[in-house]
Amino acid sequence: MSVISITENKTYCQEEINESIKIHLDRFSLTEKLKPGMRVTIKPNLLMKRKPEEFTTTHPSLIEGVILYLQSAGITDITVADSPGGLYTPSALKGIYEASGMAAVCEKTGAKLNFDTGFQNVVNEQAQLVKSFPIINPVAQADFLIDVCKLKSHGMTGLSGGVKNLFGCIPGLTKPEFHWRFPQKELFCQMLVDLCQTVHPDVVLTDAVVSMEGDGPSGGTKRETGMILASDSPYDLDYYLTWLIGLEAEQILTVKAAMAEQLCVDRLEKLELVGFVPERITDFKLPKDMSVDFVSHVPGIFKKPVKAITQRFLTSKPVIRRKDCVGCGKCAESCPAKTIQIKNRKAEIDYSNCIRCFCCHEMCPVKAIDMKRSRLFRK
């Protein structure tokens, strides 16, 4: 039976976080798995240049707790690494590390921050859709990988959990290329499962002390959920997170794909919850696009044309609030379909080629891009 470890954490008090991290990692016998001389990489969710109190990135207290645990187990080669959205350059990383609190944690503990922007192709012949990925060096070269995600809603995938967090193992602006290759949500989520199998994290922790609901992963609202969760299976953890925020497994396509490959459980009863057992959150706010899902109820012969009409006319689309746009160009930089231009210091979207991946919404530093639903579905 798969184990989901849960501790109740109402705040980011460092002493309490350290204790919870130790409880989690001891439950998965990490001290027995870690060996002297191992290169250990910690993969947080950094996404963009945001402060910890903006609840967009993994809180630095969890990273500090993991580092201290590893050091107590005799591990000295510890690297904190991520390829956030946008450019993957030392200067861009420096700004994100400093804003997110990662720089301060590594300076305090002696762990390393990754500034190596190289990558290597990693092959996984067992993958369903993508059998080779460009993986950033600190992940590709690690002997042990710890995935520390943030519980957030997500405009394209529904859930930003353990599996989605690993998209940050792909370097910089290569990520929009994957959005362009797989604009359909089902294929994109299958690609994420393939990626997860390729990098294969050894343990996953979820920062759900303060989560993000609504139009995540960067433009949502704060939700105090008061817990940290862990598992040695990112797929089982995402299955449980899906249930926790009031959804069914089939609604989160990464979970659905993992279930189809028998990578995770297919019933809640197959999970063993250890520690704090929270109540299900039935009012967790979802991204606007998630609720438009009636195609599955359409008779088979009509599904394809109805789905095409739905994707073109009824799904949410990114809309720029011109009064708030600062013309920084981050949206255009991250757009895989290259449909955004900066004109007169304001961003403009050509919807004829927009693939509704919401990369622009995700990467806007001033939250000037909304996810707008069709009027048919507005309350």
Alpha-carbon distance of 325 to 328, in angstroms, equals 8
pLDDT at 371: 77
Q: What is the pLDDT of residue 302?
A: 54
User: 22 and 205 in contact (C-beta within 8 Å)?
Assistant: no
pLDDT in tens, the chain (379 residues): 799 999 999 999 999 999 999 999 999 999 999 999 999 999 999 999 999 999 999 999 999 999 999 999 999 999 999 999 899 999 999 999 999 999 999 999 999 999 999 999 999 999 999 999 999 999 999 999 999 999 999 998 999 999 999 999 999 989 999 999 999 999 999 999 999 999 999 999 999 999 999 999 999 999 999 999 999 999 999 999 999 999 999 999 999 999 999 999 999 999 999 999 999 999 999 987 664 344 444 455 655 564 555 455 556 789 999 999 999 999 998 898 899 999 999 999 998 889 888 889 889 999 899 878 655 444 4
Paired tokens of 47: 């996404």
How many Å apart are CA 222 and CA 214, to the nearest integer? 9
Report the pLDDT value the prediction gives residue 352, as an integer from 0 to 100. Answer: 87
What would the DSSP string read from start to end of 168-223?
GGS-TTHHHHHHHH--SHHHHHHHHHHHHHHH--SEEEEEEEEEEESSTTTS-EEE
**Do the bridges between strand 203-213 and strand 221-231 make them parallel or antiparallel, or are there none, so unpaired?**
antiparallel
CB atoms within 10 A of CB 267: 9
Say how far apart CA 185 and CA 333 lie, in whole Å.
Answer: 21
Q: Is 3 helix (H, G, I), strand (E, B) or coil?
A: strand
- Residues pairing with 342 in the sheet: 347
Rounded CA separation 351/363 (Å): 18
d(CA 2, CA 365): 38
Contacts of 76 (CB under 8 A, 6+ apart): none
Two tokens at 49?
Answer: 């240049």
User: How many Å apart are CA 143 and CA 157, to the nearest integer?
Assistant: 29
Beta carbons of 105 and 64 less than 8 angstroms apart: yes
User: What is the structure's pLDDT at 356?
Assistant: 84
Structure tokens at 326: 């600062």
Q: Report residue 271 as tokens.
A: 């999970």
Q: Cα–Cα distance between 321 and 298 in angstroms, integer?
A: 35
Q: Are 162 and 365 in contact (CB under 8 A)?
A: no
Q: Is 239 helix (H, G, I), strand (E, B) or coil?
A: helix
pLDDT of residue 4: 98
Per-residue pLDDT, 296: 44
| Confidence (pLDDT) at 293 | 42
To which residue do tokens 């460092």 refer? 14
Domains annotated for the chain, with CATH where assigned, are: 2-275 (3.40.50), 292-377 (3.30.70.20)
Return the sign of the alpha-carbon dihedral for residues 349, 353, 356, 357: negative
Residues in the chain: 379
